[in-house]
Amino acid sequence: MQITGNTILITGGGSGIGRALAESFHKEGNHVIIAGRRKALLDEVVTANPGMSAAVLDIESADAIVSFAAEMKKSYPALNVVIHNAGIMRPENVTEGNLDTAEATITTNLLGPIRLTAALLPQLLAQPHAAILTVSSGLAFVPMFPTPTYCATKAAIHSYTQSLRYQLRDTKVEVIEIVPPYVQTELMGAHQVSDPRAMPLKEYIDETVNILRTQPDVKEVLVGRVLPLRYAEKNGNYDEFYSQFNAAMAAH
């Protein structure tokens, strides 16, 4: 992926990793459009970053995604990169039998990127060069027991990304998977921002963007902190790693 001169759409761009990526790509000389549900939050980011654009998107609505894609084509005809960052992560107790969290998580984290990719793909295919970046998680490879549906959606995004990449192999659309570790954001609440077990957000973004800059043909963006999760099975100690990892989560 070329690191500059793009028109980039970033979903979930109002906070956390999405906002940090948006600001970093903005500084690299790209036109960045952030999308999300909360207009006030989007406006705050755009005000702090003159030249950035914003658009409201309800990623849970199939109809809203179709109309949103039509607006992108009309207002941003040069759009050539989409980063599927929007996501929710909520704990679940499977013994309660309430599926509200599971269904919302699947709709946002999995159906959202699939629907938006389908809606934007004709525009991306028409560009001289383009890229689709999905955001999965280290938890796609070693799930964390309190958030079973979140982990399952991220495993599905990893699988979907591989198939998408292969189907688009003879086009000018690159497909790249970003695989974050545990990062200091508010994904699971304000406490996560200062959790010493999590990777500082700036450190994560700097390493991620540097990988994209120095490895233009990269398929998976893997910072050092996520490697134990990504390669737990390959390293031959998956069962032990899984048990220790989840025991540590249970202890907090």
> How far does CA 149 lie from the centroid of its chain?
16
pLDDT for 34 equals 98
Q: What are phi and psi of 50, to 5 degrees?
A: -55, 135
CATH dotted code for 7-250: 3.40.50.720
pLDDT for 188 equals 77
pLDDT at 246 over 90: yes
Q: 3-49, pLDDT tens digit by residue?
A: 999 999 999 999 999 999 999 999 999 999 999 999 999 999 999 99
Q: 138-189, pLDDT tens digit by residue?
A: 999 999 999 999 999 999 999 999 999 999 999 999 999 999 999 988 787 8
Give the three-state DSSP class for 71. Answer: helix
pLDDT at 251 over 90: no
Compute the distance between CA of residue 210 and CA of residue 112 in angstroms, rounded to an integer. 27
Query: What string of H, E and C letters represents the secondary structure of 17-34?
Result: HHHHHHHHHHHCCCEEEE
Tell me which amino acid residue 56 is: V
pTM value > 0.75: yes
pLDDT for 126 equals 97
| Annotation says 150 is catalytic | yes
Task: Give me the catalytic one of 76, 150, 166, 231.
Answer: 150
Q: 161-172, pLDDT tens digit by residue?
A: 999 999 999 999
Q: 43-98, pLDDT tens digit by residue?
A: 999 999 999 999 999 999 999 999 999 999 999 999 999 999 999 999 999 999 89
β-partners of residue 33 are: 9, 53
